[in-house]
Amino acid sequence: MKYIAIPVCFFLLFTGRAQQSVYPHPSEKQLNWHNNPFYLFMHFGPNTFTDLEWGKGSEKEEIFNPVALDCRQWCRIAKAAGAAGIIITAKHHDGFCLWPTAYSTHTVAQSSWRNGKGDVLKELSDACRESGLALGVYLSPWDRNHPAYGTPAYNKVFINMMKEIVQRYGPFFEFWWDGANGEGPNGKKQEYDWYGFETTMHQIAPNTIVFSDIGPDARWVGNENGFAGLTNWNLLDTAGFRRGASAPPNDTLNQGNVNGKNWIPAECDVSIRPGWFYHAAEDSLVKSPEQLFNIYLKSVGRGANLLLNVPPDRRGLISSFDSAALMGFARLRLESFINNLILNENAVIFFNGRNITNILGDGNGDFNLGKQYKKDFVEIVFDRPIAMNCIFLKEAVSQGQRIKLFSISFFDGDSLVYQTVHTTIGHHRLVTFPMRHANRIQIRVTDAKSEPILNGLGVYYIPEILIEH
Domains and CATH numbers, the chain: 36-336 (3.20.20.80), 341-466 (2.60.120.260)
Question: Residue 253: how many CA atoms within 13 Å on its side-chain side?
Answer: 26
Question: What would the mean pLDDT of 377-393 be, rounded to a whole number?
Answer: 95
Phi/psi zone of residue 408: left (φ > 0), alpha (ψ -120 to 50 degrees), beta?
beta
Confidence band, pLDDT 50/70/90 cuts, at residue 15: very low
- % of the chain exceeding 70 in pLDDT: 94
Question: Maximum CA pair distance of the chain?
Answer: 75
Confidence band, pLDDT 50/70/90 cuts, at residue 366: confident
Q: Is the pLDDT of residue 12 over 60?
A: no
Q: Rounded to whole angstroms, what are the CA distances from 459 to 36, 305, 350, 385?
A: 21, 21, 15, 13
Least confident of 228-242, 296-310, 364-378: 364-378
Q: Is the pLDDT of residue 360 over 80?
A: no
- Contacts (Cβ under 8 Å, ≥6 apart) of 28: none
Confidence band, pLDDT 50/70/90 cuts, at residue 358: very low
Please report the pLDDT score of residue 456 as a whole number: 84
Please name which of 303, 256, 401 lies closest in space to residue 6, comparing C-alpha atoms. Answer: 303
Q: Is the pLDDT of residue 363 over 80?
A: no
Please report the pLDDT score of residue 357 as a whole number: 64
Please report the pLDDT score of residue 293 as a whole number: 98
Task: Compute the mean pLDDT over every residue in the chain, rounded to the nearest whole number.
Answer: 93
Question: What would the mean pLDDT of 117-139 be, rounded to a whole number?
Answer: 98
Question: What would the mean pLDDT of 86-108 be, rounded to a whole number?
Answer: 98
Least confident of 133-142, 384-393, 450-459: 450-459
Question: What would the mean pLDDT of 206-221 be, rounded to a whole number?
Answer: 97
Q: pLDDT tens-digit profile of 72-83?
A: 999 999 999 999
Q: pLDDT tens-digit profile of 144-201?
A: 999 999 999 999 999 999 999 999 999 999 999 999 999 999 999 999 999 999 999 9
Q: How many residues does the chain have?
A: 469
Q: Is the pLDDT of residue 142 over 90?
A: yes
Q: Is the pLDDT of residue 356 over 90?
A: no
- Contacts (Cβ under 8 Å, ≥6 apart) of 165: 90, 99, 101, 121, 137, 139
Question: What would the mean pLDDT of 65-74 be, rounded to a whole number?
Answer: 98
